[in-house]
Every structure is written in structure tokens, then in C-alpha cells.
Amino acid sequence: MAQPLKGREVHLKSRPKGEPTKDNFELVEAAVPEPTDGQVLVRNHFMSVDPYMRGRMNDAKSYVPPFKLGEVLDGGSVGQVVRSRSPDLKEGDFVVGGTGGWREYAVAPAKHYQKVDPSVGPLSAYLGVLGMPGMTAYVGLFDIGKPAAGETVFVSGAAGAVGGVVGELARIKGCRVVGSAGSDAKVKHLREQLKFDDAFNYKSGPVAESLAKAFPEGIDVFFDNVGGEHLEAALGLMKNHGRIVLCGAISQYNATAPTPGPRNLMLAVGKRLTLQGFIVSDHGNRRADFLRDMGGWLREGKVSDVSTVVDGLDKAPDAFIGMLRGDNTGKMLVRLVKDA
């Protein structure tokens, strides 16, 4: 009789207080169940670590339930079907899903996965530019920011998984794009690799001063991934009827006490601004359009597949902690299969 399959997975051992540490996580070996009718067994090749996961580590109500202590974490992953009990997916298919991460093997209903085409882009791209971060950029900029050719676009946290794609999409639309990043190397990446019109290191001085130099005539669209000082500074430079896309606030995710709001929020009234938050999972109806457009732009070289890859499931907590610190350029990924 064949030995039952075992795989490693990462559990939430304790809830972080402030910045997470490796002590909050535990690497566990567990038996992998056989798939039942309608399910598939997937061997993960890559898993994703994302800023939203930090909020799920708190025992607080949000748009998704918190992670449970002593249980495996979850998140995005891409891999290959090794066993199937579903007519919709066959063994050997490559798939991406949103809940099978933080483990080497995942068993789930086939409907929780989407088949992917490795000929369009590398498997890892389906967790980045062709995955949730790319679709976040696509929906947030086009459906909420609604940029027009000739307008000005500011992207905070522009060297991250979402921000870099936002900048490239805005350039496709004919906009002037400026991004902020946390190091001189990332600023160089934005200017030279992603072709931003300009970029600045927000750690080099007050954001408001850098923005005033970059946007002497004001900002039409602000895509915010950072919050805090960035949001307050941008409010002061928004043009009348400007749009602010509220995607994230990574500057506040590790806060242990409530953070102050922008002191100049009243400017939104006089300037008739639109400030709108969004969750990409609410926009599933846009997935086909996104894959068609982004796949084409990727083939044409108009958007880039940028990632920082850490090897080994045991290093997933380090990758997550590093992502929150800004150690990554582009998408932070964990490779689970050698040579994937």
C-alpha cells in the first residue's frame, strides 16, 4: 500500500502585536487528504504573500474573516493538478487559486481554481501581473480612477506588486505618471525599467515637498497604496474633480494604536474630489477583460512581470515580513518547487 502523502504548511502560532515576527508562525508537516468528488489535489509551485494578510492576522472583523490560531494560513498560489476528481480539471493542468497558499499541497473544489496558460506568461506571473495584483491595478485605475490621455497620475508605493502595474497602465492610457518608492534603487527601477515619467524616494524628505516639485500643476488621479503622509500630501495637490483610488494603507498595517486621519480632508469638499475604496474580489465580472488586455500588453512588452522570489516554504514568514518592510521590488513570491 502506498504511503499517505504528507506536505508542509505554515500555521499562525500567535497574533502579531505590531510588526510580525517569525515567532508568530509555525512550520508543520501534515497528512494531505485524498480529493473527493469535485475536488482536485494541487502541488503548489509558487505562493503569494500580500499586504492584506496582515489584517487577517488580527482578531478583528473585516471584509474577510481573520486567520485562526493553530491552523494553516491561506492565500494565492499557482501549481499543477496531480490528482483530479472533477471533470473540469485534469491531472497535469496548471491552475491558480486564492486560498491554497502557505502549503506545499492543497486539496479544494475544482471551482476554486482557474486553469492558466503557461504560454501566455510564466506561472509566477499568474500571482503578479496576470493575477490578483495585476487585476487590482487594472480595476482600480480604469474603473475607479478613470484616467484620460494627458492627465497626471500619482502612484504611492509604486515599486510594489500593484503600484508598478498601475504606472505602466497609466502610461498606456497616455498619462504623465509619477511614483513614490522607499529607496533610490527602486526610484531608478521606476524611471528606467517601468518608464515612469518621474519618481522620488519618500524617505529622503517630506512627501508634500517632493510632490509639489513633481506636480506643479496638480494631480488628476492618485492611486494610493500607502496612506498616511502620502494621502495628506496628495489631497493638497489634487485638481478639482480629481479621483483618489484607495487601494491600501501599508504605512498603517502594523500600527498598534489608531492612526490620525488626514488633517486636510475638508479639501475634498471644495475640490469636489472622489475618494473610493475597493476590493478586487468584488469585480470578478472584469476577469475576462483583464486577462485579454493584460495578456496582450505583456506579450507586447507594454507591461512588465517584476517579482522578488524567496525559495522554500520555511522562508515564507521571512518573505511576508520583508514584504511589509518593503524589501521587495514588484511581487513578493515564495517558490515551493525547485526550478519552477
Stretches in the chain below the pLDDT threshold 50: 1
pLDDT for 256: 82
**pTM, entire model:** 0.93
pLDDT for 259: 85
Question: Shortest CA distance to 303 belongs to which of 136, 138, 168, 161?
Answer: 168
Task: Kindly give, in sequence order, each residue whose CB lies less than 8 Å from that of residue 209, ignoring residues fewer than 6 positions away.
Answer: none
Q: If you ran DSSP here, which 8-state letter would residue 105 be given?
A: E
pLDDT for 2: 56
Q: If you ran DSSP here, which 8-state letter would residue 142 be given?
A: I
pLDDT for 261: 84
Report d(CA 294, CA 299) in Å as an integer. 9
pLDDT for 1: 45
DSSP-assigned letters across all residues of 116-180 = --TTTS-GGGGGTTTSHHHHHHHHIIIIII---TT-EEEETTTTBTTHHHHHHHHHHTT-EEEEE
The secondary element (H helix, E strand) that includes residue 238 is strand 238-246
pLDDT for 125: 97
| Domain annotation for the chain: domains and CATH numbers | 6-128+306-335 (3.90.180.10), 132-281 (3.40.50.720)
Report d(CA 305, CA 327) in Å as an integer. 17
Report d(CA 4, CA 73) in Å as an integer. 22
**Contact (Cβ atoms closer than 8 angstroms) between residue 266 and residue 242:** no
